[in-house]
Amino acid sequence: MYWTDWEEDEIDDSVGRIEKAWMDGFHRQIFVTSKMLWPNGLTLDFHTSTLYWCDAYYDHIEKVFLNGTHRKVVYSGKELNHPFGLSHHGNYVFWTDYMNGSIFQLDLITNTVTLLRQERPPLFGLQIYDPRKQQGIKHQVKLLLSFQHNNTSVVTKIFYFDSVSEML
């Protein structure tokens, strides 16, 4: 498991960090610490063993391989005002913006950003549910894009695919 932890300290930009541990809580270790102040959303790309996160102080999205190598900023455009929730699916990263109540989609191949929805702020978490990530499921793929507003889950879009290849 992975999680973020941070404090407000504009002088020391190593106060924010991403930690990891085994699912039983043992083998806890700090995973990423440098040049990070307010890490918020975390999401995993299981196919490429990549961890993505957003930093609400630096207003960007970063990634690193799960072995700790090849850390880089994925996006730092004007749409990142105060990124909070983050979720990965296929060639896309989706995020919520806490301050302006927006949900955005970033195409990781073209680096194109699309505004998907505007809500009343603040927005918090964002999850994409894909049954392909669950072992033993072999039926129609349903992609559910949801977000939270004032601790209430709200469904934004539901996509149905007959096969995984249709999603690509």
Q: What is the CATH number of the domain that holds 139?
A: 2.120.10.30
Whole-Å CA distances, 166 to 101, 127, 140, 144: 30, 21, 11, 16
Give the domain extent around 25: 2-167
Average pLDDT estimate for 34-61: 89
Under the phi-then-psi rule, with left for phi > 0, alpha for psi from -120 to 50, and beta for the rest, what region is 21?
A: beta
Side chain identity, residue 56 = A
What's residue 168's pLDDT? 44
CB 19 within 8 A of CB 29: yes
CB 132 within 8 A of CB 165: no
From the number of C-beta atoms within 10 Å of its C-beta (0-12, 13-18, 19+), residue 104 rates as: buried
Average pLDDT estimate for 144-149: 55
Least confident residue range of 35-49, 52-66, 151-165: 151-165
Instruction: Please report where in the chains the tokens 């191949």 appear, as a residue.
Output: 109
Task: Please say if the pLDDT value at position 10 is more than 70.
Answer: no
Task: Please say if the pLDDT value at position 50 is more than 80.
Answer: yes
pTM, rounded to two decimals: 0.76
The whole-angstrom separation of Cα 168 and Cα 165 is 5
Side chain identity, residue 93 = V
CB 17 within 8 A of CB 50: no
pLDDT digits 0-9 by tens, 98-144? 888 888 999 999 999 999 888 887 888 888 877 766 655 454 555 55
CB 54 within 8 A of CB 67: no
Provide the number of structural domains found in the chain: 1
Whole-Å CA distances, 44 to 62, 90, 151: 12, 11, 23
pLDDT digits 0-9 by tens, 66-94? 999 999 999 998 888 888 889 998 899 99
Cis amide leading into 83 (omega within 30): no
CA gyration radius for the chain? 16
Half-sphere exposure of 166 (CA within 13 A, CB side): 9
What's residue 154's pLDDT? 57
Least confident residue range of 22-36, 56-70, 117-131, 151-165: 151-165
